[in-house]
Structure 1
Amino acid sequence: MSSLALTPRETARRRLLDCLRREGPLARVEIGQHLGMSPASVSDLTASLLDEGILVSDETGDATQGLIRGRPKVRLSFAATLGSVVGVWTGFNRIELRLVDSAGRNRASRHVERPLRNLEADELMDVLADTITAFARDNDANSVKAVGLACQGYVDTRDGVVAWSPVLGTRDLPLASGLSQRLGKPVLIENDASAMAFAITQRDPALRSGRTACLMIGDGVGLGFLVQGELYRGARSGGSEFGHVRLRRSGPQCRCGGRGCIEAFLADYALHRDAQLIDHRPAPTLLIPSEDAMNAVVAQARSGDPALLNLFREAGEVLGDAAGILIQTLEPDHIVICGPGTRAMDLLRPSFDAALESQTIPELRSLATIHVVESSMDILTEGVVMQALREMDLDLARLKAA
């Protein structure tokens, strides 16, 4: 996609498209309120976008809502015929795919079990490209414009490189350029926790105000940090590896090679590993336990098993310590706890609250609102799909030569 700077008119078009992408279908007056634009400016911009087929008008809405001079609001939205994007998430030997049209509507999804951990770089990219191509072909998606891919680990979004990932066997993987060459499409990559954070904040306007820290628990522990709804980047345009902050030097083994990381106490693999030691339950066939295996551990704890209840109590304390670190280092307005690990939030919550209150300066603790968002891994593909759509919108915002 072009990196040329936008003209002032193109910038205004981009702002308008971004508003519709975030908020969904809006009437012209609502667009003006969101963007602080005059009615004349909104009408001028939307007229050209409608003429170009980028936007479509919906006059079939509820005529009892928002009457203006006896006429119902006409809402504008993206046309569904501008092409599609594919969102991909790579986990431990598994791939999740989602196909979305240009209006943001889900068209198809697929789950693929595929060994990835031991593949060399070229073979890994071949497998991913073939999987994406087959998925698009099987769903008659001949107009895929872009691909977004979420991956665990340290992801350099600027250069499109996965510097390190616990689920891939190669370092400094030029994933974006390698996939783009194979697919003939633009490819953007993102850390999976940042992708989930982006999707969650797009769903809730309140979380797009101020500073929002999304702490994802599940296969691992990750952090997505947003300022005014936009992801905060580090020096290499990557996200945070907050799950690998060390809490205790002599703590349990972590996948990163260290000991005592936040993740080593709290991730699914850590909880299942400790549950195995407690009651000799069967080991998972893969390093990462299945959702069924984790649900079985949670159910047994809820039934009153004292050892497993203590396991979740200690995990809740670690989660509280982690939230306290965020509060006292970043001063977020919102902390969102999300991810598949929220399946056990009722077991984690009492010790989480106690640890947060006892280990956090009260004046700082009062500044942050805690939210729990139950979420599956599906939302990871939603996050990169939304980012890919926004990149597509950048090209749509450009004025075409006469």
Structure 2
Amino acid sequence: MSTIPLTSRETVRRRLLDVLRWEGPMARVEIGQHLGMSPATISDLTASFLDEGVLVAEESSDPVPGLIRGRPKVRLFFADTLGSVIGVWTGFNRIELRLVDSAGHNRASRHIERPLRNLGADELMDVLAETITAFARDTGASDVKAIGLACQGYVDTRDGIVAWSPVLGARDLPLASGLSQRLGMPVLIENDASAMAFAIAQRDPALRSGRTACLMVGDGVGMGFLINGELYRGARFGGSEFGHVRLRRGGPQCRCGGRGCIEAFLADYALHRDAQLIDHRPAPTVLMPGEDAMDAIVAQARAGDTALLNLFREAGEVLGDAVGILIQTLEPDHIVICGPGTRAIDLLRPSFEAALESQTIPELRALATIHVVESSMDLLTEGVVMQALRELDLDLARVKAA
């Protein structure tokens, strides 16, 4: 992907593509309203994209605000023949893949159980490249233009390096360049919580206004932070490692090597570990539980198991403390609690709300709207797919030579 700066016209073209990428098919008048541009300017820009085959026009029976009655209602959308992208998520010995065409339509997906934790850097990248190549071949995707990969841990998105991940053995892993060399195409990488935040914001326009903190609870605990719909980047172009903020010195063991981190109370592995140590339950046999194992623990708690109810009560208190920290340090407009861990939100909610009420300055608490988005891991690949498509749009925005 080119690093040459866009011209002023190309910047406007990029803005138009961004609107369609975020909002979906729209009429010209709607595009003009979003961008604050005149009908003549929008007509000129869209005519160029239609001539280039980037956009496709189609009459719609849906009413479009602002159109003159009796005129055909024409919406513009991305052509689906501009090349596809593959989104990948690497979890604990798991790989999720998704194939999406240039119009954003899902074409295929795949779940693979594959040991990854003990692989060296080169072997890991070989396995990922082979898995992606096989997925593209099996789905008949001969036009893949880019790969987006979401990974747990601290991810330097600028240099394409996974500095540390609890699910991968190698440190300072040059994942983007290594996979790009093996696959022969651009590869962008992202922290998985940031990827989920990006996908959630794509689905809800309200979350693309102001500051939004998405607290993802599941295999681990992570946070994606958005400012007006764009991901916040730190000094190394990474995101937040909020799950590894220490709440209680000497608390339970965390995967990062510390004790008492937020994640060590809330993540699936922490709840599963503690549940298996209660009463007569067998000792832990696996580090990372599957969805079936977590569903069983939740079901037992809902059935009235006192020990498990206390376990979720404490987890809810930690969640309340964590959200209180977010409110009082970042002052976000929106806080989203998301990820597979929301499966037990009914068990967490009473102690969560009590802890949040007692630990947060009321005036600050009133400023933030809290949303619970019951979400699956599909949002992880959706987030990096969206980012990969936007990177391809950067090239589509460039004015083609006559």
For the aligned pair, the TM-score class normalised by the smaller chain equals: over 0.9
Matched, 1:177 2:167: no
- Which residue of structure 2 lines up, in the alignment, with residue 132 of structure 1? 132
Matched, 1:168 2:168: yes
Matched, 1:329 2:336: no
Q: Aligned ranges for residues 51-66 of structure 1 at < 5 Å?
A: 51-59=51-59, 61-62=60-61, 66=65
In 2: Cα distance, 1:139 partner to 1:382 partner: 18
Amino acid at match of 2:143: S
Q: Aligned ranges for residues 233-382 of structure 1 at < 5 Å?
A: 233-282=233-282, 285-382=285-382
- Which residue of structure 1 lines up, in the alignment, with residue 188 of structure 2? 188
Q: What displacement does 1:52 show?
A: 0.3
C-alpha change, 1:163 and 1:280, in structure 2 (3 Å) is farther
- Which residue of structure 2 lines up, in the alignment, with residue 114 of structure 1? 114
C-alpha change, 1:281 and 1:11, in structure 2 (3 Å) is same
In 2: Cα distance, 1:62 partner to 1:69 partner: 12
In 1: Cα distance, 2:378 partner to 2:13 partner: 31
Q: Residue deviations 1:129-176, cap 9 Å, x none?
A: 000000001111000000000000000000000000000001000000
Amino acid at match of 2:209: S
In 2: Cα distance, 1:276 partner to 1:117 partner: 23
| Secondary structure in 2 matching 1:278 | coil
Matched, 1:81 2:76: no
**Contact kept? 1:99, 1:106, Cα under 8 Å:** yes
Q: What displacement does 1:283 show?
A: 5.4
- Which residue of structure 2 lines up, in the alignment, with residue 213 of structure 1? 213
In 2: Cα distance, 1:175 partner to 1:281 partner: 40
In 2: Cα distance, 1:182 partner to 1:301 partner: 47
| Bigger mean CA deviation after superposition, 179-188 or 276-285 | 276-285
Q: What displacement does 1:72 show?
A: 3.4
Q: Residue deviations 1:108-148, cap 9 Å, x none?
A: 00001100000000000000000000000111100000000
- Which residue of structure 2 lines up, in the alignment, with residue 148 of structure 1? 148
Q: Residue deviations 1:33-89, cap 9 Å, x none?
A: 001111011000000000000000111x21555552302320000000000000000
**Contact kept? 2:326, 2:332, Cα under 8 Å:** yes
| Bigger mean CA deviation after superposition, 278-287 or 102-111 | 278-287
Q: What displacement does 1:285 show?
A: 5.0
In 2: Cα distance, 1:298 partner to 1:212 partner: 29
In 1: Cα distance, 2:63 partner to 2:377 partner: 38
In 1: Cα distance, 2:79 partner to 2:265 partner: 46
In 2: Cα distance, 1:182 partner to 1:274 partner: 41
**Contact kept? 1:284, 1:290, Cα under 8 Å:** no
**Contact kept? 2:276, 2:284, Cα under 8 Å:** no
Amino acid at match of 2:30: E
| Secondary structure in 2 matching 1:162 | strand
Q: Aligned ranges for residues 30-109 of structure 1 at < 5 Å?
A: 30-59=30-59, 61-62=60-61, 66=65, 68-109=68-109
C-alpha change, 1:352 and 1:188, in structure 2 (3 Å) is same
Q: Residue deviations 1:180-236, cap 9 Å, x none?
A: 000001000000000000000111000000000000000000000000000000000
Q: What displacement does 1:282 show?
A: 4.5
Paired-residue identity, %: 86
In 2: Cα distance, 1:63 partner to 1:305 partner: 52
| Bigger mean CA deviation after superposition, 152-161 or 66-75 | 66-75
| Bigger mean CA deviation after superposition, 7-16 or 278-287 | 278-287
Matched, 1:14 2:9: no
C-alpha change, 1:357 and 1:9, in structure 2 (3 Å) is same
In 1: Cα distance, 2:64 partner to 2:309 partner: 51
In 1: Cα distance, 2:252 partner to 2:62 partner: 61
In 2: Cα distance, 1:69 partner to 1:318 partner: 56
| Secondary structure in 1 matching 2:379 | helix
In 1: Cα distance, 2:198 partner to 2:105 partner: 17
Give ranges in structure 2 of 5+ residues lacking alignment.
Answer: none
Q: Residue deviations 1:349-382, cap 9 Å, x none?
A: 0100000010000010000000000000111000
Amino acid at match of 1:291: E
In 2: Cα distance, 1:44 partner to 1:283 partner: 68
The root-mean-square deviation of aligned C-alpha atoms, in Å, is: 1.0
**Contact kept? 2:277, 2:283, Cα under 8 Å:** no
| Bigger mean CA deviation after superposition, 97-106 or 273-282 | 273-282
TM-score by length of 2: 0.98
| Secondary structure in 1 matching 2:277 | helix
Deviating 4+ runs (over 4 angstroms): 63-67, 282-285
Q: What displacement does 1:400 show?
A: 1.4
In 2: Cα distance, 1:401 partner to 1:91 partner: 44
